[in-house]
Amino acid sequence: MSTVKTHSYDVIVIGAGHNGLVAAATLARAGKRVLLLERSQQMGGAMATAEISPGYRVSTAAHMIDALPPRLERQLRLKKYGLRYGKQPLLTMALNRDGKHLTLPAGNKPMEGLSASDGEAYIRFARQREGLARLLSHAMAQRAGDNLGHSLQRLIWRAAFMRHVAIGELTQFAPARLGDILDREFESPLLKGALALDALIGQAEGPYEPGTALQLLHKTSQRQGGARQRVPLGGLGALAEALCGAILARGGEIRPGVEVSKIIVHGGHAAGVETASGEKITAAQVLSCIDARTTMLDLVGAACLDTGLAKSFRQIRHRGATAKINLALDGLPTIAGLAPALAGSRFLIVPSLKELDEACLAFRRGGLTTEPPMEVHLPSVNDATLAPDGQHVISIIVQYVPHDVTGGWNTAHEKLVQNVVQTLTLYMPDIASRIVAGEVLTPPDIEMKYSLTQGDWHHGVLDMARLLTLKPAALMEGYGSTIPGLYLGGAAAMAGGISGSAGEAAARAMLKGRA
Partner 1 sequence: MKRHDAIVIGAGVNGLTAAAYLARSGLRVLVLDRNARAGGGDMGYEIAPGFRLSRFALGHMGLPSGIVTDLDLARHGLRFLRAEGGVTMRPDGSYLASYRDGDVQRRELARHSARDADAFIRYRRDKLADAQRLAPLLTGGMDDVVGRNFSAFRRRLALAGKLGAMGPADIIEASRIWTQSMAQTLDDYFENDLVKAHLAGPALMGATLGPSSQTGASRLITGFLGLQGRGAQDAAAGLPDHVMPLGGPDALLDALRHAIEAAGGSLRLEAEVTDVMIRDSRVRGVVLADGEEIEADAVLSDLDLKRSFLGLFQWKDLPDGLVTKTGAFRTTGAVAKINLALDGLPSFPSLPQGCGAIAGGLMLGTSLDEMDRAYDDWRDGLPPRGPLIQAFLPSLTDSTLAPQGKHVMSVMLQFVPQTLYEGDWTVARRTELTKRVMDRLAEISPDLDRLVIASELLLPGDMENEAGLTAGDLAQGEMTLDQMFVNRPFAAGGSYETPLRNFYICSSSAHPGTLAAGMAGANAAARILSMGRKRAAS
Q: Which residues bind partner 1 (CB under 8 A)?
A: 144-145, 147-153, 155-156, 160, 166-169, 171-177, 180, 184, 205, 208-211, 213, 311, 315, 317, 357, 361, 364-365, 463-465, 468-469, 474-475
DSSP string, 21-52: HHHHHHHHHTT--EEEE-SSSSSSTT--EEEE
Is residue 181 within 8 A of residue 213, CB to CB? The reply is yes
Closest distance to partner 1 from the beta carbon of 51 (Å): 40
Task: Write the CB contacts of 152 (distance below 8 Å, at least 6 apart in sequence).
Answer: none
Q: How far is the CB of 365 from partner 1 (least distance, A)?
A: 7
- Nearest distance from C-beta of residue 115 to partner 1, angstroms: 17
CB of 25 to partner 1, least distance (A): 33
Nearest CA among 441, 495, 501 for reference residue 50:
441
Q: What is the DSSP letter of 385?
A: G
Quick one: 115 or 171, whose CB is closer to partner 1? 171
- In the complex, what is the shortest distance from the CB of residue 236 to partner 1, in angstroms, rounded to a whole number? 31
Nearer to partner 1, 112 or 146 (CB): 146
Of 145 and 226, which has the nearer Cβ to partner 1? 145
Measure the CA–CA gap between 36 and 400, rounded to whole angstroms: 34
- Say if CB 43 and CB 256 are below 8 A apart: yes
For the bound state, the minimum distance from the C-beta of residue 478 to partner 1, rounded and expressed in Å, comes to 13
Q: Could you tell me where the DSSP H helices lie in 186-249?
A: 189-200, 212-222, 236-249
Residue closer to partner 1 (CB basis): 155 or 190: 155
Distance of CA 484 to the CA centre of its chain: 28
Q: Minimum Å distance from CB 443 to partner 1?
A: 18
Smallest distance, partner 1 to C-beta of residue 471, A: 10
Within 8 A by CB and 6+ apart from 164, the residues are 127, 128, 130, 131
Mind spelling out the 3-state secondary structure of 279-303?
CEEEEEEEEECCCHHHHHHHHHHHH
Amino acid, single-letter form, for residue 117 = S
212/261 Cα distance (integer angstroms): 37
CB of 26 to partner 1, least distance (A): 29
If one counts every other C-beta atom within 10 angstroms of the C-beta of residue 112, the result is 10
Q: Which one, 206 or 245, has the nearer CB to partner 1?
A: 206
Question: Whole-number minimum distance, CB 358 to partner 1, in Å?
Answer: 8
For residue 429, which phi and psi values (nearest 5 degrees)? -55, -30
Q: How far is the CB of 291 from partner 1 (least distance, A)?
A: 18
H-helix or E-strand spanning residue 396: strand 392-399
Task: Please identify, using beta-carbon distances, which residue of 173 and 400 lies nearer to partner 1.
Answer: 173
Nearer to partner 1, 63 or 459 (CB): 459
Q: Which is nearer to partner 1, 341 or 474 (CB)?
A: 474
CB of 361 to partner 1, least distance (A): 6
Cα separations in angstroms, 212 against 151, 172, 197, 372? 24, 12, 11, 19
User: Looking at beta carbons only, is 169 or 330 nearer to partner 1?
Assistant: 169
Cα separation of 470 and 354, whole Å?
Answer: 30
Cα angle 177, 419, 98; round to 5: 70
Distance CA 469, CA 205 (A): 19
**What span, in angstroms and rounded, lies between the C-alpha atoms of 132 and 353?**
23
Q: How far apart are CA 418 and CA 411, in angstroms?
A: 12
- Rounded Cα gap, residues 365 and 64, in angstroms: 30
**Nearer to partner 1 by C-beta: 297 or 342?**
297
Chain centroid, CA 311 distance in Å: 26
CA–CA separation, 477 and 487 (whole Å): 10
d(Cα 359, Cα 373) in Å, to the nearest integer? Answer: 7
Nearer to partner 1, 50 or 167 (CB): 167
Q: How far is the CB of 181 from partner 1 (least distance, A)?
A: 9
Q: Which is nearer to partner 1, 76 or 360 (CB)?
A: 360
Closer of 38 and 357 to partner 1 (Cβ) = 357
